Amino acid sequence: MAKAKAAADVSLCKGCGLCAEACPVGAIERLKEINKKGYEIIGINEETCIGCGHCYTICPDYVFTISTAD
């Protein structure tokens, strides 16, 4: 069975951090990088991510997609 993973379009990220707070395994962290809109972006640890979708559900800016790797 393929494991689900989260992916982020950081160009849409506004750095609110809601996703990092919602992640039950701590796979999302704020990076010290700034996107073109001037916001601090997040990063996803793909090894830790369990694909639960909490980030997708809570994100107000539609940054995340959840997909399965074949």
What is the distance of C-alpha 4 from the center of its chain?
A: 13
What's the confidence (pLDDT) of residue 2?
A: 64
**Which is more confident, 47 or 1?**
47
The residues with which 68 forms a beta bridge, in sequence order, are 4
pLDDT tens digits, one per residue of 15-36:
999 999 999 999 999 999 999 9
- In the block, residue with structure tokens 């991510």: 49
* Alpha carbon distance 15, 67 (integer Å): 22
pLDDT, tens digit, 9 for 90 and up, residues 46-68: 999 999 999 999 999 999 999 98
Q: Report the pLDDT value the prediction gives residue 20, as an integer from 0 to 100.
A: 97
